[in-house]
A and B are shown apart, each in its own frame.
Chain A
Amino acid sequence: MQLARVIGDVVATRKDESLTGIKLLIVQPLTVDRRPAGRPLVAVDAVGAGVGEEVFFVRGKEASFPFHPAEPPVDAGIVGIVDHWDVS
């Protein structure tokens, strides 16, 4: 999983049926000192995250697991909202 900040959202009316009702957010991966790490991407939201929040997300087919037994075609999904992190 990777740390990220939610920086925006995406609206798509015409989409795969199994995506109906799932929120699509734009996340910017972060280093532990909160600098951007790589390119922003679109992730589905499984935890009720919103713009401005720090989250962690999972890549790959596992991103669909929170929606079981549905199997939406997604490769990135937010699975936690971070309260704080601490790196020494």
Chain B
Amino acid sequence: MLLGKIVGTVVATRKDPRLVSNKLLVVRPMDPRGKPEGNYLVAVDTVDAGVGETVLVVSGSSARMASGLKDCPVDAAIIGIIDEIEIND
């Protein structure tokens, strides 16, 4: 899974019917020390996250196993809001 910061929201009126009523957020992936890395991605929110929060993002087919996303055409889902990151290397 990736760590990321939510930087925005996405609104789409015309979309796959299975995406209706899902919240789409723009996430900037970051390394565990908080440094942004990689490209922005659009992820479905399943934990009621909001802009500015640090979150856990699952990618690929596993994203469909998140709550409420069974058989949805998605490849990234926000599955947790991060309280604390501890690095010890």
Contact = CB atoms under 8 A, between A and B. Distances in A.
A60 B67 contact: no
A16 B46 contact: yes
Contact of B81 (A14, A26, A61): A14
A15 B86 contact: no
Contacts of A26: 32, 85, 87
Contacts, number: 106
Interface in B43-89: 46-48, 56, 58-67, 69, 77, 79-89
Contact size range, A: 20 to 34
Interface string A1-36: 000010111111111111100001010100000000
A63 to B, nearest CB: 7
B79 A7 contact: no
B16 interface: no
A82 interface: no
- Of B64, B66, B77, chain A has the most CB atoms within 10 Å of the CB of B66
Interface of A: 5, 7-19, 24, 26, 28, 39-43, 51-52, 60-61, 63-64, 71-76
Given A19-B79, A24-B56, A73-B66, 14 more contacts: A8-B88, A8-B89, A10-B56, A10-B82, A10-B86, A12-B56, A14-B80, A15-B56, A42-B56, A43-B1, A60-B60, A61-B61, A61-B65, A73-B69
Minimum-distance CB pairs A-B, first 9: A15-B80, A12-B80, A7-B89, A73-B66, A8-B87, A73-B65, A42-B1, A11-B84, A75-B62
